[in-house]
Structure 1
Amino acid sequence: MSVPKIIHYCWFGGNPKPKLAEKCIKSWKKFCPDYQIIEWNEENFDVSAAPEYVCQAYAAKRWAFVTDYVRLKAMTEMGGIYMDTDVELVKPLTPFLAHDAFAGFETDASVQTGLLACCPGFPLFQEFLQHYDSASFVKPDGTHDVTTNVSVLTSLCREHGLVPNGKFQVVDGFAVYPKEVFCPVDFDTEQLHRTRKTVAIHWFASSWKTEEERRLLEAERARLHYEKVSAARYAFFTKLLGEKTYHKLKALFLKR
């Protein structure tokens, strides 16, 4: 089953769209002229009928977390492509529609959620959606659970066999492309590494986020930078020492 020509995006809260969002939406129309584009907002999505997680996030005006659920709900029911409003197209998406689902790596170790696509009823994304059915946005101590959907999706994909190496692979029908295709901006440094293979650019804008969400973004950048350094260190020392020797030495240091 192929991905239908539908583009979904979310805009909750009623605030005016920034210039970057308008620019990105214009690029969708340019490179996908025969696609249906649907904006999901309070007028066509009943937040009160959604799981507790969504209602709590909406009450807290944490729109980014509301969209984590809405994008999956729309895609699993209708199929199509979801894009954040800071994702700009530079080439058509039509060549990728033959997949059951597709996206790209955000880093070598994590899968992006700013651009996701699937056919209706895609099993892996239905499993992803079910995560929010039992989740609570407000923790027992009253603080918010700001775990990113990138973390949730990446963990789920690894359970299904994803190898966190940044290379093209298909995980239970989900095609995951290298960063250069859909996410050529380095999340840590915000530098653009565009190539001839680049189809979309996620600019990682944070102007519409709350102060807490901006802090979360910086924390996520720090976490991903640590993962990248750790992965590079692991690759260097296992190549130098061999995997068994590396783990023996690591265990020895941890005992101290």
Structure 2
Amino acid sequence: MMGNIPKTIHYCWFGGKEKPNHIKQYIDGWKRLGGYEIIEWNESNFDINECDFIKNAYRSKKWAFVSDYARLSVLKKFGGIYLDTDVEVKKDFKPLLNSKMFLGYIYNCSIGTAVIGAEKDNIIISELLELYKNAKFIMKNDKISLEFEGYENYQINNNNDLFTVYFINNVNGFLLSNKKQVLENVTVYPKEYFERKTFNSKKDFSIHHCYGSWYKNNPNRRSKIAKIINLFIGDILYDKLRANMKLKKLPYYEQYKKDKRKE
């Protein structure tokens, strides 16, 4: 499965707010990779009326959902690597660029979308983009509901859920297992490659800090007890503990258990 992903990093910053210092530091880190073109997508260079989904998300000032659509659109048109702005890059993505597409898990039973590499016109990116073009973004009483054609019977709260259920149903040979899988049009990596801190330096291309800059109250803020636990066991073990505690609450945990038995 050979491909040729361009050395272009795409990121989104809609809404016009000043970037926090930690976001600026992560972007500065990307620049130190060398040899990559870095493109910021915002209101000045992206058509926020491209479809009803992004139009309604933008009108509701839900920037995360705006970027959910925009990342797929620019990857289809240009290819390259999409990064969330709270991604800290640890080493060059060059060894992964001969894939048709790459991404990883965020949890053992959920596909991550903070780091996505793809060739121009990749079939998976194209099909996911079409789902968004026909999707409904509904904002009522400050609550968001998402409706995707053909997936009405699935619980989809965000793009992680959509990617996960799409892969389960449409990517031949895919198992929801947090294991590396080299498939026809995509390579899927364990969560330690792009999302989670790890002791294995061969894996850690990046860390996704999950700041959720679009939230009024940052969900990454921790209680005093959590901070004490983190202090005693260290960042990596604390991150593993948090991920395992959340695992059973995720919508496709049962599918993960089934697929683990197939390995």
Check whether TM > 0.5: yes
Match of 1:253 in 2: none
Aligned residue runs from structure 1 range 75-224, under 5 A: 75-138=75-138, 143-145=143-145, 147-159=157-169, 160=171, 161-184=173-196, 192-197=197-202, 198-206=204-212, 208-211=213-216, 214=219, 224=247
Match of 2:66 in 1: 66
Q: 1:75 to 1:229 in 2, by over 3 A?
A: closer
Q: 1:171 to 1:229 in 2, by over 3 A?
A: closer
- Aligned partners of 1:79 and 1:117 also within 8 Å: yes
What is the TM-score normalised by the length of structure 1? 0.78
Once the two structures are TM-superposed, the CA of residue 234 in structure 1 deviates from its matched residue by 5.5
- Aligned partners of 1:157 and 1:171 also within 8 Å: no
* Structure 1 position 19 matched with structure 2 position 21: yes
Residue by residue over 1:25-47, the C-alpha shift from the partner in whole angstroms, topping out at 9 and shown as x without a partner, is 1111112x111100000000121
- Aligned partners of 2:4 and 2:99 also within 8 Å: yes
Once the two structures are TM-superposed, the CA of residue 14 in structure 1 deviates from its matched residue by 0.4
Distance (Å, rounded) in 2 between the aligned partners of 1:119 and 1:43: 24
The structure that has the greater radius of gyration is 1
Question: What amino acid maps onto 1:175 in structure 2?
Answer: T
- Aligned partners of 1:27 and 1:88 also within 8 Å: yes
Q: Identify unmatched segments of 5+ residues in structure 2.
A: 147-156, 221-242
Give 4+ residue runs of structure 1 displaced > 3 Å after superposition: 139-143, 211-215, 221-225, 227-231
What is the TM-score normalised by the length of structure 2? 0.76
Question: What amino acid maps onto 2:158 in structure 1?
Answer: T
Q: 1:194 to 1:203 in 2, by over 3 A?
A: farther
Three-state SS of the structure 1 residue aligned to 2:73 is helix
Three-state SS of the structure 2 residue aligned to 1:138 is strand
Identical columns (%): 33
| RMSD of aligned residue pairs (Cα, Å) | 2.9
Q: Report the count of equivalent residues.
A: 223
Match of 1:226 in 2: 249
Match of 1:246 in 2: none
Q: 1:141 to 1:30 in 2, by over 3 A?
A: closer
Match of 2:38 in 1: 37
Three-state SS of the structure 1 residue aligned to 2:82 is strand
Q: 1:84 to 1:230 in 2, by over 3 A?
A: closer
Once the two structures are TM-superposed, the CA of residue 214 in structure 1 deviates from its matched residue by 4.8
Three-state SS of the structure 2 residue aligned to 1:158 is helix
Q: 1:142 to 1:183 in 2, by over 3 A?
A: closer
Q: 1:139 to 1:20 in 2, by over 3 A?
A: closer
- Aligned partners of 2:109 and 2:252 also within 8 Å: no
